Amino acid sequence: MAQSSTPPPRLRPRRGSRVHYPNNDDSDSDDIAEFVLKPRPRRAARRVKTYRESSDDDHDDDAPDPSSDESDAQSSPAQSDDRPQSTRRHVPTHRQSWPLKKRKSPPVTRSAAQRLFKSFKRRKPSSNNHNRGQMNAKRSADTLSASTNNRIPPWQQLPYHILVSIMQYAAYPLYGPTSRAQPSINWLCTTGSLCRSFHEASTAALLYSPPLYPSWRAHGLINLLEQAPGSLSTDYRKKIRFLDIEVKQLLVKKSGISMDKLISLTPLLQGLRFYSNYDDLTTVIWAQPAAKKFKWSYPTELLGRLETDHLFMRSFEWNGRFQNTTDVLKMATEAHCRPSFSRLRDLTFLNLSLPEKAKEADIDCARGFFAEALSRLPELRSLSFRNCGILDEVTMSMLPAGLLDLELTNCPDLTSDALENYLSRGSSLRFLKLDGNQCMDFGFMASLQALCPDLQHLEIDMLYIDPTSFRDREPLYDELLPHGPPTWPSHLVTISIENMRQLTQEDAEEFLASLVDSSEHLAQLRRLNIKAILKDASWRDRAKFRQKWLAKLENVFLNTQEPSNIVSKFSKGRPSASQRQSTRIANGHLKKLSLGDNTDESDAPAPKSFQGRCDVVNLVISDQRPAETQYHENDFLDSEPGDDGEWRERNSQHISNDYAW
């Protein structure tokens, strides 16, 4: 007992010396009390200094102020004695974790300055809130005024045909490649539920060429059409004009539909198209062998059903895949003799190709059916050939002469001479589209102005697709412009030529110079798109060529003026005649000055003529080999955020700013 009683006197002075500091918050008792009573440590409970407190130095704030009432109350002996017992009930205004420093007492005027500063800080948030409220009110007022100034036309009061055109323009096409449904189908259904006028227009746009793929859509449509028209608010049967039928899913499989029943429920049918999801060579080259596994041919009952229901076709598509080219041409010859095809205006031939080892007798027989089938259509105005190897110099001479639209896509045996021979008889063309013809150069364009004086739309794409190989083929001609630069018809509205091949820099300059020289006669041109691949040209030469000719084409063709049909919403009245005359004179002077400034600043020479009516002027010069799918840098980069996240997760203990590798 004597040994145990001696240590306390030694420890008491130490404990007393620690308690001697009145503002010490690091005592063991305080820490234990805070740990027991609060879930977080005492340091986390420290009061955070805000801008409402004094911004003086820390040593000025921590010292007690004898002249202030608050500091007197905090430094009273009663409060210092009771402090260890009431640590949770009383929280000091300022806490510190370091011992107090000896300093001089502050002046007496500090309390008044501190109160003034605190009162200013208390008023500042209120002023900020007031300003913020004013800004929000102003922003809401601007939004409200902007929403009220917007002119929202009464869409539901528009005429029926205008609404139908708007719906078709916004929703078509309903299907993408390989019959992939687009979101526009659901959009039409949702829009039709807004009001009665929208319902009629959306229904007409949806059923004009109704979506039949997959088979459950076709079965649902047939069930709807079988209902009595008197029991429905809308006669859905009279809305259908064209039918696009996917053969494998809708006709070959057991879950398909009855084509005879569907046609009998469409009294105003004008067009039929039987297709396969493998017809698009540009998207499903790898699937071409699988397309030959199912066998289906045009039924003879189809022609009888069309005559029984007194249906007159305006558009039809013959597909050589069902079942071969000779049988399809024979069926077309028989069908074009029927009254139901006497008014045919739009005809499409697809996949008409003879075998490589075909006999001469079979080739002559197929050509005979081809010529006879086209000669039976007196009202034909639009003709399209897609993936047709049968089209060559012999069959091109069999085309009718009164066509307005001609499309030739992926015809491997078509040459420029064969096309020029037909154009000498087809001077009435308005639309000419040439895509992926491997043997065709631009020799016919040297006399295009004389051959097609009324041509309005010219679209050419020289990207070649080979369905038997994964590699794109090269052109089968040595020179793109064998007969010199082209001549341009004066009625052209659209010129779009992409992937120009076998083109030297000199030929490209002659090609673009022909456009600039003909700008005086191209008054109706609105869209100009040129994409060329220069042969044997460095990247510096291509860059200089692009900068030079793009600036020249824009100076000549690009329309830089604002649309003239925009009326200011804040205009109070129409200007007088004198004001309009003075405005025109001023605009004319400004236009001349702007043209003079542009020609002085740019390196391109001043154009001889100024067309200035094109909304789109695009020129792309590169040396890339055209391919079905163009790959860029982003296609070969890894996902950096994912990789970095996984790496940091494995090394979460050590975070460094250095690279991982």
354-399 confidence digits (pLDDT tens): 988 889 999 999 999 999 999 999 999 999 999 999 999 999 999 9
Query: Residue 415: its pLDDT value, please?
Result: 95
Choose one of 352, 367, 399: the last residue of a domain: 352
Q: Do 347 and 393 have their domain in common? A: no
Q: Do 611 and 469 have their domain in common? A: yes
Assess if residue 478 is contained within a domain: yes
Neighbours of 277 (CB within 10 A): 19
Strands (E) across 405-493 are located at 405-409, 431-435, 457-461
Q: Do 340 and 418 have their domain in common? A: no
Q: Do 248 and 346 have their domain in common? A: yes
Assess if residue 310 is contained within a domain: yes
Assess if residue 264 is contained within a domain: yes
Q: Do 319 and 392 have their domain in common? A: no
Bridge partners of residue 408, in order along the sequence: 385, 434
Q: Is the pLDDT assigned to residue 1 strictly greater than 80? A: no
Q: Do 340 and 266 have their domain in common? A: yes
CATH of the domain at 617: 3.80.10
> Confidence class of residue 612 from pLDDT cuts 50, 70 and 90?
confident
Q: Please give the structure tokens belonging to residue 536.
A: 């044997």
In order of 32, 44, 170, 213, 317, the CA distances from 173 in angstroms are 75, 63, 9, 14, 18
Max mean pLDDT range (45-54, 70-79, 102-111, 514-523): 514-523
Q: pTM (2 decimals)?
A: 0.69
Contacts of 163 (CB under 8 A, 6+ apart): 155, 197, 198, 200, 201
Provide the domain count of the chain: 2
Give the mean pLDDT of 321-347. 94
Assess if residue 281 is contained within a domain: yes
Nearest to 384 by CA among 328, 449, 431: 431
Q: Do 279 and 385 have their domain in common? A: no
Helix (H) or strand (E) holding 527: strand 527-534
Provide, rounded to the nearest whole percent, the portion of the chain with pLDDT above 70: 62
Query: Residue 151: its pLDDT value, please?
Result: 72
Decide if 447 contacts 489 (C-beta within 8 A).
no
Assess if residue 167 is contained within a domain: no
Q: Do 337 and 407 have their domain in common? A: no
Q: Do 309 and 387 have their domain in common? A: no
Q: Do 336 and 393 have their domain in common? A: no
Contacts for 634-643: CB closer than 8 Å, 24+ residues apart: none
Q: How far is CA 634 from the centre of its chain?
A: 18
Q: Do 486 and 612 have their domain in common? A: yes
Assess if residue 543 is contained within a domain: yes
Q: Do 431 and 340 have their domain in common? A: no
Assess if residue 489 is contained within a domain: yes
**334 against 147, higher pLDDT:** 334
Q: Tell me the three-class secondary structure of 280-339, residue by residue.
A: CCCCCHHHCHHHHCCCCCCCCHHHHHHHHCCCCCCEEEEECCCCCHHHHHHHHHHHCCCH
Decide if 259 contacts 302 (C-beta within 8 A).
yes
| Residue type (1 letter), 324 | N
Assess if residue 642 is contained within a domain: no
The maximal CA–CA distance of the chain, rounded, in angstroms, is: 134
Give the mean pLDDT of 409-418. 94
Q: What is the mean pLDDT of the chain?
A: 77
Q: Please give the structure tokens belonging to residue 141.
A: 């007022």
Query: Residue 323: its pLDDT value, please?
Result: 81
Q: Give the domain range for residue 262.
A: 209-352
Residues in the chain: 661
625-650 confidence digits (pLDDT tens): 666 566 677 777 765 555 555 555 44
Max mean pLDDT range (73-82, 400-409, 587-596): 400-409
